[in-house]
Copies of this chain bind each other. A is one copy, B any other.
């Protein structure tokens, strides 16, 4: 009756091995209802294991109902267990990664919105988290509140006033897992099938997807080199928009900064429509020609939903962002956050609070800003030197990317494939266009995470490829 195989070299415990063996035999119908198992003593002797091993394996099978025990007469396979095995899951190879997220790549990748990853303040951040682990009250390891830690929101509200002119009390802030979650919460609370959103065109494709998948219709508002053109806002739309969406500090992707006159007009428009403004202030800290421009939120705190993120100014990997809300919306967003993922990691929030409070964030921003300024100059100088009059550059006064067009080139998939084949990656503006066909001449060139050497090399690779078409 040697039907059990036990392997002492396996990392699995003997009890577990025995349990698994018997369970498999029952499920596959090898032994069926009423089958009497060997006594614990005889099976232990047979397998040369301690009797306790068999007793525990049987107990487990008993607890799960695979076997039954009758006082004095032993252990039997229970009824109703045989599972007709449908085709077992095949051990498939992992599907090819889709083009979602980041991949390692040997080529020079001018992806936008990625900060200088090699400069992340590893030591300071590590210390902050470790200190939080040591010093936080026990409640920090329990369930938190959906809007986030009060300590962080207090520090953040002061930071936002100081740096961005945002006027808010800490209770108007809801912490999120990055700006993307802020956007999906906005969609959840404000958008329904039939809703309308007025948006800059072009605008980040993923944001369009988030709003559309909530059932909203998007009304594109064409932008120029200064951002949204107010004359293009539909004046008497059939439906009142839920909100107007803008990236006023540094329009994505075109790079303009919305002038104060247009900001005022936008606020007046929102008041006339009785709708909100969603202000996505995604890389506003990186302005090179002058100090950062104050937020629209600071001009009309009752009308503006302000989205901020630490992805560009610190690290996208941390997934830390926030919403600043008009008072009337606070409760709805707290609830939406609760039913989405309860709250954002408490330890990360507390570490961020210390990081800001002790001045590390502002020191870090000023440090990387100098670097980005140099990279920007390196990039625009190289482009102008190599392409001369044939290159036209947009949006260079702020952010982590520029937009460029090259005389005579209308970009198609083939162009990007040819660039890729030559070890350099650019991104089409057209991908972010709502109305298609107007931005096929422009590419996005991010410079946050490429060194000056890579920039030089990248531009010369561009030249060698573009020469075929120019």
A interface vs B, CB < 8 Å?
Answer: 12, 15-16, 19, 23, 27, 56, 59-60, 62-66, 78-83, 86-89, 91-92, 94-95, 97-98, 100-104, 114, 117-118, 120, 122-123, 125-127, 129-130, 132-134, 138-146, 162, 167, 169-171, 176-178, 180-181, 184, 206, 209-210, 213, 257, 259-261, 264-265, 267, 271, 287, 289-291, 293-294, 299-302, 315-319, 326-327, 330-331, 334-335, 338-348, 449
Q: Are A293 and B63 in contact (CB under 8 A)?
A: yes
Q: A83-B299, A86-B271, A126-B130 are in contact. List 7 more A-B contacts (CB 8 A).
A: A78-B260, A80-B261, A83-B300, A114-B143, A129-B347, A177-B177, A177-B342
The distance in angstroms between the C-alpha atoms of A445 and B385, with both chains bound, is 73
- B142 near A449 with CB under 8 A, answer yes
Q: A129-B133, A171-B94 in contact; A289/B83 too (CB < 8 A)?
A: no
Q: Are A319 and B344 in contact (CB under 8 A)?
A: yes
Verify B138–A181 contact, CB threshold 8 A.
no
Cβ-closest 7 pairs across A and B:
A126-B133, A65-B259, A101-B145, A317-B346, A181-B341, A126-B130, A94-B171
Instruction: Select from chain B the residue with minimum beta-carbon distance to A188.
Output: B213
What chain B residues lie within 8 Å of A257 (beta carbons)? 63
Asked if B64 contacts A294 (CB within 8 A), the reply is yes
Distance in angstroms from A18 CB to nearest chain B CB is: 12
Instruction: Report the separation of the CA atoms of residues A184 and B185 in the bound assembly, to the nearest whole angstrom.
Output: 12
The docked-state distance in angstroms from the alpha carbon of A311 to that of B460 is 52
In the bound complex, CA of A102 to CA of B139 (Å): 9
Inter-chain contact B60/A102, CB cutoff 8 Å: no
Give Cα distance in the complex from A80 to B340, angstroms. Answer: 42
List the number of copies, as a whole number.
2
Is the pair B180, A339 in contact by a Cβ cutoff of 8 Å? yes
User: Are A65 and B260 in contact, with the CB atoms below 8 A?
Assistant: yes
Task: Determine if B94 and A169 form an interchain contact, defined as CB atoms under 8 angstroms apart.
Answer: yes
Q: A78-B260, A178-B342, A342-B180 are in contact. Are A315 and B101 (CB under 8 A)?
A: no
With the chains together, A326 CA to B65 CA distance in Å? Answer: 26
Interface pairs (10), CB distance under 8 Å:
A12-B162, A63-B290, A64-B294, A66-B260, A94-B170, A95-B171, A118-B138, A126-B130, A178-B341, A213-B339
Question: Is the CB–CB distance between A317 and B101 below 8 Å?
Answer: no
Taking CB atoms, residues of chain B closer than 8 Å to A344 are 177, 319
A348 nearest in chain B by CB position: B345
A171 to chain B, nearest CB (A): 4
Q: Looking at the assembled complex, report how far the CB atom of A375 sits from the nearest CB atom of chain B, in whole angstroms.
A: 16
Point out the residue from B92, B289, B300, B345 that lies within 8 Å of A327, measured CB to CB: B92
A83 / chain B contacts, CB cutoff of 8 Å: 264, 267, 299-300
- With A89-B327, A302-B86, A339-B209 known to touch, is A139 a contact of B104 (CB < 8 Å)? yes
